[in-house]
Amino acid sequence: MQEHVSDAYAFLAVLCLPLVAWILSRPPLWRRIRPRLEPVAVRLWLQVVEQEQPDEGVLRRWAVDRLEQLRGHLERVRRLILDDEHMTATRQVGNRMAHERLVRDVRDAEAAVLAYGLNEVATPEAAPTPRGVPRLAFSAPAVGPVVEVLEFGPGGRWL
């Protein structure tokens, strides 16, 4: 029975709905049903168009949650940068670009939280020293670290 449900929907969409729309659009019938359908259509349109203002508490909580999430991402990227000598230059540059972007995003999020006047969000603790941060365990390459050099222009490689 379940496999025939999609067939029934296709039948309704392809054959029945256009026929019903054609019958309802005929002028004698349309004149009778239009006064009843217009208020419903206006009410639906207003529900779609008018945006409700978000709750101030929800916006505050969202700003705090976003700040906490960005701080977590920033800490993860900082730990990654501490131990990325074995990665290619492309990944190293990407990690540093992500770090710069996250620093900017954290500053913007802190400004947004302060705009709501929230004093309960404490500044993060002092950043740990590199030796205090647990290092990520990676297997070292057999021949030693290899650095990928990106060269642009006529004398180098084109990307």
pLDDT of 55 > 80? The answer is: yes
Q: What is the pLDDT of residue 158?
A: 46
The domain locations on the chain are 2-49, 56-115
Provide the pLDDT for residue 155: 53
Q: Please choose, from the candidates 83, 73, 78, the residue with its C-alpha nearest in 3D space to the C-alpha of residue 136.
A: 83
The three-point CA angle 10-13-16 to 5° equals 110
Q: Phi, psi at residue 33, to the nearest 5°?
A: -90, -15
Measure the CA angle with vertex 49, ends 45 and 55; round to 5°: 130
Tell me what pLDDT residue 84 has. Answer: 83
Gyration radius of the chain over CA positions: 30
List, in order, residues 6 or more apart from 74 with CB less than 8 Å away.
99, 102, 103, 106
Q: What is the pLDDT of residue 72?
A: 93
Taking alpha carbons only, the member of 109, 28, 113, 21 closest to residue 72 is 109
CA distance readout (Å), 96 to 78, 93, 101, 117 = 9, 5, 9, 32
> Between 120 and 11, whose confidence is greater?
11
d(Cα 106, Cα 97) in Å, to the nearest integer? Answer: 14
What is the reported pTM? 0.47
